[in-house]
């Protein structure tokens, strides 16, 4: 295959995935006005329903404009040999391939983040603000950005340097070494994310004394989950939207409840949400996801190892000197249809797991408070009660509210 053809395949993949995305978006938007199913007609009053309709439409048009600009910039960058310029620039600083790769990705990622910042600023301080969700201050927004950059520079930079070093020194079996380091890193991050990363952005506290804690204690004892593994996080620092999640395993397992969740829901509803999260732990969902993602990473790295050294990849991007980082960029786009498929499968599994966790909450606690809690959460985030099935299939990691309602009422 000539590099010219490969170049157009890359552009074709970028455009095709954009088109598929837009078709799903507009299909979903066409159903915003569908009648609300009977089971859910107590979620919104008419005024709130109007508000949710406006919120969906505004997000939809904003998303369409943002993704169109992003596609345009990306394709222009490919057509005007952007990667070749950045590669040349990085090479003017060093002959060392590891340092060149670090400078190259540093520039690409920093530039793309700068380009996307006005959009996330608008999303937070205009749209979310208008609908009363935003609690982020400009200071928090800027600090989040800086911390995010530092984190990527330190963690991402170290991993990249190690992987390029493996590539340079071990040849065709580099992917096995790279897989080893990525597996060890994923394992470590899954285990200590709550202890090492979350505190950089949020405060986490144990549950306060009081009737909620006693109720939770009674439930936790009943199912054998230690109370000191339950934390409350200050989500209200950024948004009024509420959430809860389970993370870690072994000694480091924990359930994290947003303070917004505790403010919005009744005590029974909070215990039901907690029971759902404990269900994720009891059914070993975190471990399954960790092992699966490590498996997928191995497959991806093996495939990468077959192509990354091929000079056609770098020629397609008009770069004369083949290198790991240029190969990685071209491979990244070529691989994206496969990662779309693995993403669909992971969402499919995730929705199954959500039913299992709901059933666990129903069997060890109660179904009704979970239903009313989920309804409140939907209402308070103005969520879409009538998503299109194909959009749900592609993008939803959770079943729809209606599906969860029907499952819990069985």
Catalytically annotated residues = 277, 358
User: How far is C-alpha 272 from the geometric centre of its chain's CA atoms?
Assistant: 25
Shortest Cβ 353–Zn ion spacing (Å): 7
The least distance separating Zn ion from the CB of residue 409, rounded to whole angstroms, comes to 18
The helix or strand, by DSSP H or E, that contains position 367, with its residue range, turns out to be none
Least distance from Zn ion to the Cβ atom of residue 249, Å:
16
Q: Which is nearer to Zn ion, 304 or 357 (CB)?
A: 357
Give the nearest distance from C-beta 350 to Zn ion in angstroms. Answer: 8
The burial of 235, by beta-carbon neighbours within 10 Å (0-12 exposed, 13-18 middle, 19 or more buried), is given as buried
Name which of 396, 371, 312, 323 is nearest 3 in CA terms.
312
User: Which residues, including other chains, have CB under 8 Å from residue 298's CB and lie 6 or more apart?
Assistant: 175, 179, 183
Tokens of 80: 């005007």
Closest CA to 208 of 223, 190, 192, 227: 227
Residue with tokens 């499952």: 407
**Residue nearer to Zn ion on the CB measure, 194 or 357:** 357
Residue 289 Cβ, how far from Zn ion at the closest point, in Å? 12
Stretch that binds Zn ion, among 99-107, 203-211, 346-354, 368-376 (CB under 5 A): 346-354
The span from the CA of 255 to the CA of 21, in Å, is: 33
Q: If binding means CB under 5 A, how many residues of this protein chain bind Zn ion?
A: 2
Q: Is 68 or 193 the residue whose CB approaches Zn ion more closely? A: 193
Burial of 329: CB neighbours in 10 Å, binned 0-12, 13-18, 19+: buried
Closest to Zn ion by CB, 124 vs 378, is 378
Rule CB under 5 A: say whether 272 interacts with Zn ion: no
> Other CB atoms closer than 10 Å to residue 248's CB: what's the count?
20
Site string for Zn ion, 124-143 (x = CB under 5 A): --------------------
Task: Please give the residues from 347 up to 376 whose contact with Zn ion meets the rule CB under 5 A.
Answer: 354, 357
Kindly list the residues in this chain that would bind Zn ion in the complex (CB under 5 A).
354, 357
């Amino acid at each position: 295959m000539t590099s010219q053809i490969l170049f157009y395949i890359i552009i074709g993949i970028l455009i095709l995935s954009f088109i598929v995305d837009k078709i799903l978006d507009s299909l979903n938007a066409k159903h915003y006005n569908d009648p609300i199913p009977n089971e859910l007609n107590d979620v919104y009053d008419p005024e709130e329903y109007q508000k949710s309709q406006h919120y969906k439409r505004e997000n939809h048009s904003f998303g369409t404009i943002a993704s169109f600009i992003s596609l345009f910039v990306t394709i222009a960058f490919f057509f005007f040999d952007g990667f070749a310029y950045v590669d040349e620039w990085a090479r003017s600083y060093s002959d060392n391939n590891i340092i060149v790769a670090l400078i190259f990705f540093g520039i690409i990622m920093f530039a793309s983040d700068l380009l996307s910042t006005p959009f996330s600023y608008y999303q937070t301080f205009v749209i979310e603000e208008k609908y009363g969700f935003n609690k982020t201050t400009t200071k928090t927004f800027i600090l989040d950005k800086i911390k995010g950059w530092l984190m990527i520079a330190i963690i991402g930079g170290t991993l990249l340097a190690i992987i390029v070093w493996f590539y340079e020194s071990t040849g065709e079996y580099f992917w096995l070494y790279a897989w080893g380091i990525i597996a060890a890193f994923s394992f470590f991050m899954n285990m200590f994310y709550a202890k090492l990363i979350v505190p950089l952005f949020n405060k986490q506290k144990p549950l306060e004394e009081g009737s909620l804690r006693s109720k939770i204690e009674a439930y936790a004892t009943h199912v054998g989950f230690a109370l000191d593994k339950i934390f409350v996080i200050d989500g209200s620092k950024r948004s009024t939207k509420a959430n809860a999640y389970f993370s870690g395993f072994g000694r480091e397992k924990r359930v994290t409840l947003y303070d917004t969740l505790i403010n919005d829901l009744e005590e029974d509803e909070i215990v039901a949400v907690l029971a759902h999260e404990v269900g994720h732990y009891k059914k070993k969902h975190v471990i399954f996801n960790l092992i699966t993602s490590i498996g997928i990473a191995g497959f991806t790295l093996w495939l990468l190892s077959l192509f990354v050294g091929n000079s056609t990849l770098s020629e397609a991007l008009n770069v004369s000197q083949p290198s790991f980082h240029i190969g990685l960029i071209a491979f990244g786009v070529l691989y994206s249809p496969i990662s779309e498929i693995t993403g669909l499968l992971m969402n499919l599994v995730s929705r199954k797991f959500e039913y299992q966790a709901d059933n666990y909450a129903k069997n060890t606690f109660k179904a009704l408070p979970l239903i009313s809690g989920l309804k409140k959460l939907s209402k308070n985030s103005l969520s879409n009660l009538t998503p299109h099935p194909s959009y749900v299939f592609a993008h939803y990691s959770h079943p729809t509210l209606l599906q969860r309602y029907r499952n819990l009422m069985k």
